Structure 1
Amino acid sequence: MFLHGTSTINAQGHLEIGGCDTVELKEQYGTPLYIVDEALVRQRSREYVEAFKASGLSFQVAYASKAFCTLAMCRLAEEEGLSLDVVSEGELHTALEAGFPVQRIHFHGNNKTPEEIQMAITAGIGCFVVDNFIEIHLLNAIAKDNGVKVNVLLRVTPGVEAHTHEYISTGQTDSKFGFDIGNGSAYEAVSLAASQSNLNLLGLHSHIGSQIFEVEGFQMAVERVAAFAVKVKQETDVTFQVVNLGGGFGIRYMDGDTPLKVSEYVKAITDAVKEHFAAAYTTLPEIWVEPGRSIVGDAGTTLYTVGTSKDIPGVRKYVAVDGGMTDNPRPALYESKYEATLANRANDSVEETVSIAGKCCESGDMLIWDVELPKVNTGDLLAVSCTGAYNYAMASNYNRIRRPAVVFVNEGQSDIVVRRESLNDIVANDLIPARIQKQPSLNA
């Protein structure tokens, strides 16, 4: 397994992350366990900020909290000078409870409810990213009722299909998100939004997909968004102060994945902005981006305890762990691939090829197909790397399995940031109607 961030193998042959022995973490917190390398999260955050500073452009780097949203993560993002992208009342509530600066919160989503909009307006967030015509009217009406004028970006689809999984590709014409530039709806949206009394149209938003390993898609998106912005300026005199180019920057999950350095992505984007906006804009727009996976993805490791195994001669050997699709649904959803190692015997030589099965009652609950490991024994600890993004965030209680704890590790210190769910948590919201309540025995 490739060692990310502060990960290393210590003198005992144990995987160590953030100066913490994973065997000791298992003893203290149990498994499954999400482990977050705090130093690597901070490093990735700073790489974005420093790269944009080097460009000379005004900017905001907004952490896409959908990747991993907890109180502690919101605080860390604030400390690193990031803004915050939220997409639901739950993410917004988490940000507010963490004390995140409201003016640096951006609210996304293709179907914001009136209640969510009211909550965000009451909080005084910095910006709404508007996704459709209904939302333009709804947001303006609620803002008017509150006697405020709110900042908005219009999400546009530039017709760029990034090289990514079809379920996470969002910049193409056929998408549930945004106003299409090609068919004229984006132009119509600009005219409508600009005419609303309680909307302040700051600019445009574009997002072309996720887990992208090249810069050409971003460059093409900038070119098309800029051409649209220039057309709007020339024909309507509406000038955009902000252009948000989304996220989607890839990370290394497996050998063969080839993400670029953060600075390379940022330079390609900012150079394209300078090239394509300069002719019509005397002052270049402020550039926003929304990295999520590339900030937390490779900083996360999930630790499991090995349980049973099943060897089918001539076919494969299944090794089952105490987690699965409830803590990592991505293999089932996207056929995502991961690397792994035995955390308690990290220096042992590879002896067998096995497939890692989860414990859910589903044939599709497989975490990894065909991974090479030392001889695996019951009780071994399996560490799966790069689980920081969309693992805890997408975890479920399927089969009424408890969601794992989350710990931050840094310089030899571990801190619980999400407690493991208890069995009482599982039934905490359950109710039994009076008509089916268990009746006392007549013989009592």
Structure 2
Amino acid sequence: MHKLAPRIHPAVRSLLTRGDLLGSFGTPANVVFPQVFKENVESFRETLARYPVASRLFYAHKVNQSTSFVRAAAEAGIGIDVASVGELHHAVAAGFDSERIEATGPKGAAFLWELTRTGATVNVDNHWELTEVARVAHQAVPVLLRLCPSRGRTSRFGTAESGMPALLDTILDHREVLDLRGFSFHLDTNDLKEKVAAIDACLRLFESAYARGLSPRVLDIGGGFRQVFAADPDGFDRYVQALKAGLAGTAESLSWEGNTFGYRDLRGTPTFHRYANTATGTDQLREILDSPLPGQGGRPVAQVLLENMIELWLEPGKALADQAGVTVTGVEFTKTVGNEETLVSLDVSRDRICPADQEVMLDPVVIYRADPRTYDDQPVGVYFGGNLCLERDLVYEHKTWLERLPKPGDLVVFVNTAAYQMDLSAAEGLMHPRTPKVAAVESDGEFRIQAESGRDECSTPTSPN
């Protein structure tokens, strides 16, 4: 059997022993773990504390709409990065004041108007945004100017370095309402060289601003920090090799209807993450801070920031939600289809499990709830089907090996789904309701399950009955 064993946080694993509790609030359901979220916050804080650089941590709200996560961020004393009016209102309701709110992403007139009234820091994407802030502001608004780096893949966000002088002109023309707090970038990549090059470019912008009498003091390096998904990286690599062998016709096929997952002639870029990654988000942060800057005589990033009294801001989202959520689904039925493959149909759609068009290459946890004597104890390779009336709705298009074939009513739990997976579904188009979300809080050996409103749903010990 080819396994894709997932990494599972101890608190999550503890709850997974309670199939009765997991099934008590119906399926499908999303379960978030605010305590795990807080542990991730502390891990970033501990890493930053090793460097004598002033810094601020912001939770990127867009990764999950969970009220529990937003409240956990507020209670932890960090900031929040919002990208819509709805997220802004959510943050304010959770107790964030203006000093702890930053707005990123593309912003229309209504959002900018709200931000100028709130007093949040506006991470300006383009010249129009900056002039609109100046037009509607009735008091000084702190702004960052977002750079679109020239190195690597072009981003749709930010302003090219060549366009920055015009933004600085606008700030100088409206100094009474535009307070230049600093510069920022966000790269949708884990390439260390690209991030270091972007920091170098931002430092050039600092020098330009200083020369014009401005006093920027913040460098915001965005988010995109890694998660660790797999418990067995070598097992993941073995699965990928077996998948390729199946595509080449030299071994059993592990893909539905010959899906190549982006491979061409066994090369190409696969449509799934590097699940064998073992470096955490904080490992990546240390790499950045320790990296030499070519434009600064090879001195490390942290040293340059310290010497120039520049405050470091960062906006991790998925790294703070790492291991902090699961999606619980139920088995509807099983059957053999025309290609003689076994299909396990679930009460959930693909886009509630897989973000965008990416395949999630992790085995779920199956909780068998029927009488053990009624199962055929033989390993079986299956495909998981979704509940939409669409041919393309396969939850996984790669084969998953199970200890035994599940039965209707059994639970299939997809782990580590809190980041960008729980809230980006289009299934409502077929009138399926949104998947409800609850929070699991462990205390003194017991789990308390709370609806996102905070109302206690049930309280029960973690040990099996």
User: So what's the TM-score if we normalise by structure 1?
Assistant: 0.80
**Residue number in structure 2 paired with 1:165:** none
218-227 vs 283-292, which moves further: 218-227
| Secondary structure class of the residue paired with 2:144 | strand
| Secondary structure class of the residue paired with 1:220 | helix
Distance 1:140 1:259, change over 3 A: farther
Q: Deviations over 1:258-278 (max 9, x none)?
A: 142333222222234763586
Q: 1:268-307, aligned counterparts within 5 Å?
A: 268-272=287-291, 275=300, 282-307=307-332
Q: Deviations over 1:368-420 (max 9, x none)?
A: 2211112222221101111001122213422111112212223222333337x
Structure 2 residue 164 is the aligned partner of structure 1 residue 186:
yes
| Secondary structure class of the residue paired with 1:4 | coil
Match of 1:267 among 262, 286, 293: 286
Q: CA deviation at 1:309?
A: 2.5
Distance 1:293 1:279, change over 3 A: closer
Structure 2 residue 379 is the aligned partner of structure 1 residue 351:
yes
Q: CA deviation at 1:128?
A: 0.3
**Residue number in structure 1 paired with 2:419:** 389
Mark the runs of 5 or more structure 2 residues left unpaired by the alignment.
Answer: 231-235, 237-274, 294-298, 454-465
Match of 1:16 among 7, 14, 17: 14
| Secondary structure class of the residue paired with 2:131 | helix
Q: 1:245-260, aligned counterparts within 5 Å?
A: 245-254=221-230, 255=236, 256-260=275-279
Q: Do the aligned partners of 2:228 and 2:280 also contact (CA within 8 Å) in 1?
A: no
Match of 2:406 among 361, 376, 390: 376
Q: Distance in 1 between matches of 2:280 and 2:228?
A: 11
**Residue number in structure 2 paired with 1:169:** none
**Residue number in structure 1 paired with 2:148:** 157
Q: Do the aligned partners of 1:298 and 1:386 also contact (CA within 8 Å) in 2?
A: yes
Match of 2:434 among 397, 403, 420: 403
Match of 2:47 among 47, 51, 56: 51
Q: Do the aligned partners of 1:75 and 1:100 also contact (CA within 8 Å) in 2?
A: no
**Residue number in structure 1 paired with 2:260:** none
Indicate the percent of aligned positions where both proteins have the same amino acid: 22
Structure 2 residue 118 is the aligned partner of structure 1 residue 114:
no
Q: Deviations over 1:286-312 (max 9, x none)?
A: 000010011113211111001122323
Q: Do the aligned partners of 2:305 and 2:312 also contact (CA within 8 Å) in 1?
A: no
Match of 1:340 among 342, 364, 377: 364
Distance 1:381 1:281, change over 3 A: closer
Q: CA deviation at 1:138?
A: 0.4
The aligned amino acid for 1:2 is: P
**Residue number in structure 1 paired with 2:199:** 222
Structure 2 residue 101 is the aligned partner of structure 1 residue 105:
yes
The aligned amino acid for 2:425 is: A
4+ residue runs over 4 A deviation: 276-282, 347-350
Mark the runs of 5 or more structure 1 residues left unpaired by the alignment.
Answer: 9-14, 162-171, 420-444
**Residue number in structure 1 paired with 2:25:** 29
287-296 vs 115-124, which moves further: 115-124
Q: Do the aligned partners of 2:34 and 2:69 also contact (CA within 8 Å) in 1?
A: no
**Residue number in structure 1 paired with 2:124:** 130
Distance 1:190 1:333, change over 3 A: farther
83-92 vs 214-223, which moves further: 214-223
Structural RMSD (CA): 2.7
Structure 2 residue 352 is the aligned partner of structure 1 residue 311:
no
Q: 1:352-367, aligned counterparts within 5 Å?
A: 352-367=380-395
Aligned residues: 389
